[in-house]
Structure 1
Amino acid sequence: MAEYEMQEMNLPNKEGKRILYPRLVLCGQADTEYIVKVLTRNSPFSKGEVIGLLRELSEELAFQMGQGKSVKLDGIGTFVPSLALRKDKEQETGEEDDTRRNARSIVIGGINFRADKQLLRSTNHNCDLERSQQKFQRSSQKYTPEQRLERAQQYLANHPFITVGDYARLNGLRHTTASLELRKWAEQSESNITTSGRGTHKVYIRR
């Protein structure tokens, strides 16, 4: 049984009324060890074979994306690599006398994932929802904006990118508030945060 809660959007609707939206309440994480255990429970494959297959799949994904391809796995989704500048390189402005960035200045900054429709349908089929007894939470005031920026910078020191959802969970913010604040940091060069990708594939990386 999964639970959901209704959270308030940061901005009201056109009539000035508050808007609530549903958010899934995560109750834990199914890690590799757990997934392998489940897959081998009623399978002719051993634990070592499943772990080896997952490792081979990971390496092949990395190789194909490193060759400039997206990877589509039927029933799972599509993986798309995105580029970013190395953290010690400045953005190219496109001006005639500006230094141009070469291949050594660019790295894979993140990998975007777009779920297959079948995965969405199957997840929805397996999702038996009930409303959480906890009341929805407004944006947390536990951290100041400067502290939230510092926490994001620390996160990026150990991860290739941060999403709006990551920033929201990290700082106890609603999704809309987190999106607006991350956008503000990306516009300030001193924050050392910029964007990579566009639309639903946009993530935030170290400048």
Structure 2
Amino acid sequence: MAILFDWYELPEPKDKQREEKILHPRIRLNGSTSTAELRRRIQERCSLTKTDVSAVLDALSHVMGEDLAEGRQVHLDGIGYFHPVLTSTEPVTAATKRKTTKIKLKGIKFRADQVLKNEIGAIKAKPLGLNEHSQKLSDKEIDRRLTSYFSTHQFLTRSDFQSLCGMMRSTAQLHIRLLRSEGKLENTGKLNQPIYVPCTGYYGRDE
């Protein structure tokens, strides 16, 4: 089966926009493979039973968790490298007290081993139809829709913006980031639960 993808444009500040937009490929996943399916297929390729495979996967998860919790990088031959990534729960400055209490785990980064890349080999890619792309809206149209939206709503979430402008999640996040950098939107919520409101002078907010 081919890898499904579409093309998208990265929104750019007006002073840095190019005459010809650069397009980037973005994958659309063909579903997911469950642990049960992996267990069955692994069992077919070796002498382990399904129970043995389950026990190994369970033990692997626990052992990796222990090492990652201690800040180690874990390397699985033929698969890749795993390491923890941190983030702060709120903006931190040099004057912030008890900085250590503002730290939490952001996620686990993965870098594929070359052996795994070789297993994938040459790929087949298939572009999606135009109707499955994010809508291509001008800056004026986005501003018009936001002005209309804020005339009846007090705040905006990423999913609201995504629905309002017919964009995919990643494209919506990029546009919100751009609107914030231009001083049109501000986040009045938490770092990990953002809630956006208009800045003064935009989208019907006069003061």
TM-score, length basis structure 1: 0.63
Give the alignment of 1:115-126 within 5 angstroms.
115-125=112-122
For 1:43, give the aligned amino acid.
C
CA distance in 2, matches of 1:79, 1:183: 31
What's the C-alpha RMSD, in Å, of the aligned pairs? 3.8
Q: 1:19-78: per-residue Cα shift (whole Å, max 9, x none)?
A: 333333322101111111111123211111111101111111110111121111222111
CA distance in 2, matches of 1:92, 1:15: 35
- 1:137 counterpart residue number: 133
CA displacement at 1:173 relative to structure 2 = 2.3
Q: Of the candidates 148, 158, 161, which is equivalent to residue 148 of structure 1?
A: 158
For 1:123, give the aligned amino acid.
I
- 1:62 counterpart residue number: 65
CA distance in 2, matches of 1:3, 1:109: 28
For 1:146, give the aligned amino acid.
L
CA distance in 1, matches of 2:17, 2:187: 33
- 1:198 counterpart residue number: none
Q: Of the candidates 23, 28, 33, which is equivalent to residue 20 of structure 1?
A: 23
Give the 4+ runs in structure 1 shifted more than 6 A.
140-145, 183-187
Q: Tell me, which stretches of 5 or more residues in structure 1 are unaligned?
A: 152-166, 194-204
CA distance in 2, matches of 1:70, 1:146: 38
For 2:112, give the aligned amino acid.
A
Q: Name the CA shift for 1:79/1:5 in 2 (closer, same or farther; >3 Å).
A: closer
Partner of 1:146: helix, strand, or coil?
coil
Q: Name the CA shift for 1:14/1:82 in 2 (closer, same or farther; >3 Å).
A: closer
TM-score, length basis structure 2: 0.63
CA distance in 2, matches of 1:71, 1:183: 36
Give the alignment of 1:50-89 within 5 angstroms.
50-85=53-88, 87=89
Give the alignment of 1:154-193 within 5 angstroms.
172-173=167-168, 175=170, 178-182=173-177, 188=186, 190-193=188-191
For 2:92, give the aligned amino acid.
E
Q: Is the 8 A contact 1:76 1:119 kept in 2?
A: yes
Q: Is the 8 A contact 2:159 2:169 kept in 1?
A: no
Q: Is the 8 A contact 2:134 2:171 kept in 1?
A: no
Q: Name the CA shift for 1:22/1:106 in 2 (closer, same or farther; >3 Å).
A: closer
**Structure exhibiting the larger radius of gyration computed from Cα positions:** 2
- 1:4 counterpart residue number: 4
Q: Name the CA shift for 1:36/1:70 in 2 (closer, same or farther; >3 Å).
A: same
For 2:86, give the aligned amino acid.
L
